[in-house]
């Protein structure tokens, strides 16, 4: 399962990392890709996930799934925010590996420039990323 820890990591892994236990991290692992490989998902065009502590930052006046379908969108999120450093440890390094493997320009869109603008954080430690990310407590994916 997604909460299991491979034997080679068992004695090297912190069971509580930044206050996040194995169960929470297993959920993150599952939602980062394997959820889309589940046979039941083949019958759907969109998946909408909602964390137990997720909330809508405003009232919904329209159906977000309908809008995504009509506008041929592939990802919907509730808001963009900066996360705490302990919650995103090594996140940017793995994003860069993915970005580079896919030939994506990390400053190629307005949104990516916003996410990678280190001046937003006014912090030289992060260099390329300001810890701003899509908050996926509520997300819709195609």
| pLDDT tens, residue by residue, 46-85 | 999 888 877 777 888 999 999 999 999 999 988 888 888 7
The pTM assigned to this predicted structure is: 0.68
Q: Nearest 5°: phi and psi at 125?
A: -65, -40
Among residues 121, 122, 141, which one has the least CA distance to residue 69? 141
- Determine the Cα angle at 77 with ends 61 and 116, to 5°: 135
| pLDDT tens, residue by residue, 2-58 | 667 777 777 766 666 666 777 887 888 888 888 888 999 999 999 998 888 777 778
Q: What pLDDT does 124 receive? A: 47
Strand partners, 17: 20
Cβ neighbours, 10 Å, residue 130: 19
Q: In the numeric block, which tokens belong to residue 30?
A: 């599952």
**The dihedral formed by the CA atoms of 124, 128, 130 and 134, expressed in degrees to the nearest 10:** -170
Q: What pLDDT does 122 receive? A: 56
| CA distance linking residue 15 with residue 87, whole number of Å | 14
| pLDDT tens, residue by residue, 80-130 | 888 887 778 788 888 888 888 999 988 888 888 877 776 655 554 556 677
């Amino acid at each position: 399962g997604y909460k299991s820890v491979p034997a080679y990591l068992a004695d090297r892994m912190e069971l509580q990392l930044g206050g996040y236990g194995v169960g929470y991290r297993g959920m993150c692992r599952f939602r980062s890709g394997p959820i889309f490989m589940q046979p039941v998902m083949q019958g759907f065009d969109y998946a909408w996930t909602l964390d137990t502590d997720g909330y809508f930052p405003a009232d919904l006046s329209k159906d977000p799934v309908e809008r995504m379908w009509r506008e041929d969108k592939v990802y919907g999120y509730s808001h963009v925010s900066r996360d705490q450093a302990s919650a995103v440890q090594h996140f940017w390094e793995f994003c860069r590996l993915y970005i580079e493997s896919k030939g994506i320009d990390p400053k190629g869109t307005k949104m990516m420039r916003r996410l990678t603008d280190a001046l937003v954080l006014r912090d030289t430690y992060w260099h390329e990323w300001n810890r701003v990310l899509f908050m996926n407590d509520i997300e819709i994916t195609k």
